[in-house]
Amino acid sequence: MTPREVLAPIALFVYNRPAHLRRTLEALAACPESAQSRLIAFSDGPRSEQDARRVEACRALIAERSWCRAVDLEARSTNVGLALSVTEGVAAVSARWGRVIVLEDDLLVSRHFLAYMNQALERYEDDPHVYQISGHSFPARGYARSQGSSFLPFPTTWGWGTWHRAWNCYDAEMSGSEILDADPALRERYDLDGSYPYHRMMRGLQRRGRLGDSWGIRWYWSMFRDEGLALYPHRTLTSHLGADGSGTNWGPTRALPTEFDPGNEVRSMPERIRTNLSYYAAVKRHLAQQNTILRRGERLVHRVIQRSVSGVRRASP
């Protein structure tokens, strides 16, 4: 392993959304620590001729200015997809420098995002129970004004950091996950005590042959199996731009609202490495409520589609 940077290197995963990417880069450059940080942009190759122009526009944007102290571009000639791009990129950067901050090209970050990430990555580096430092968080009731942070037993994919020792536990095959099918109590815990349908999502992806498109659910299983924890800020330090349907694994009906302010910061971190049960309960209530709203919306869309299809059939000669 080569000597690590003074601050953790930032791995940014980019595809074909230059407008989103510009906002991400501008927000990142607004963090004071960007002047001492290394940015490594992983640009996946175009899937089609139509995408090629936008992919090149993103690569030109990365080279447009010094968004960080050093900016490296890793450009692929072929398309491997988001999951493989992220998993291989995180593995390469963390293996070289020991730790990594991970962003995608549809995230805004707080001005204090890099300060928090670097402080937490340094503080919990040697604790084997901590697998991730999360930049994103949820508007949990009772914590709206808190500038603290807490541990939760599941990860996020919207701006995060990890170490080589933790990412080594990433299990792309989800070995042993079949135990969830046979153990209702364990499955309930995996679903955050019934608050979010992770197991149903995972099995749905497997049935459709799309599990390879999702690295997040596999990272969650890896953490869950090892009883790993993630540190969350009580006020989110990231905001997601990709809920417009332009992203790979997210669409407008799946957006979870957050109360993002570019001035959000974290001023305290827990001494004890354990789940904050009060905060966890508040987060689960929020996720359960959001999941209910999303399921109702999906059922409504399904009914509208069915009625439209039925109307076309009745009108057909």
- Residue 302 confidence class, pLDDT cut points 50, 70, 90: very low
Grade residue 292 by pLDDT with cuts at 50, 70 and 90: confident
Structure tokens at 308: 């439209």
Which two three-digit tokens encode residue 294?
A: 């999303």
Average pLDDT, the chain: 89
Residue among 87, 143, 148, 86 at smallest CA distance from 120: 148
Assess contact for 172 and 217: CB atoms under 8 A: no
Structure tokens at 237: 């330090």
* DSSP classification of residue 155: -
pLDDT in tens, 260-287: 899 999 999 999 999 999 999 999 999 9
Tokens 């999303």, residue located: 294
Output the pLDDT for position 3: 52
The answer to whether 69 and 38 are in contact (CB under 8 A) is yes
pLDDT of residue 132: 98
User: What confidence category does residue 294 fall into, taking pLDDT thresholds of 50, 70 and 90?
Assistant: low
Confidence grade of residue 76 (pLDDT, cut at 50, 70, 90):
very high
pLDDT of residue 297: 43
pLDDT band (50, 70, 90) for residue 207: confident
Asked if the model's pLDDT at residue 165 lies above 50, the reply is yes
**pLDDT band, residue 72 (cuts 50/70/90):** very high
Cα R_g (the chain), whole angstroms: 20
Q: How far apart are CA 4 and CA 139, in angstroms?
A: 34
Tell me, what's the pLDDT at 59? Answer: 98
- Which helix (H) or strand (E) is 282 found in, with range? helix 277-315
Are 27 and 105 in contact, with CB atoms under 8 Å apart?
no
Distance CA 264, CA 262 (A): 6
Measured over the CA atoms of residue 63, residue 55, residue 43 and residue 49, the dihedral's sign is: negative
- Statement: residue 150 has pLDDT above 80: yes
- Going by the DSSP 8-state scheme, the letter that residue 131 receives in this structure is E
pLDDT of residue 257: 47
pLDDT tens sequence across 183-199: 999 999 999 999 999 99
* pLDDT given at position 313: 47
- Cα 317 to Cα 217, 231, 308, 312: the distances in Å are 47, 61, 16, 10
| Domains defined for the chain, CATH in brackets | 1-105 (3.90.550.10), 107-242+253-309 (no CATH)
Name the phi and psi angles at 130, rounded to 5: -95, 120
**Angle 1-3-269 (CA atoms, 0-180°, nearest 5)?**
100
Edge to edge, what strands does the sheet with 160-163 contain? 70-75, 38-43, 10-14, 99-104, 160-163, 130-134, 229-233, 149-152
pLDDT tens profile 240-250: 986 544 444 43
| Structure token digits, residue 281 | 């309960």
Asked whether residue 304 carries a pLDDT value surpassing 50, the answer given is: no
pLDDT for 301 beyond 80: no
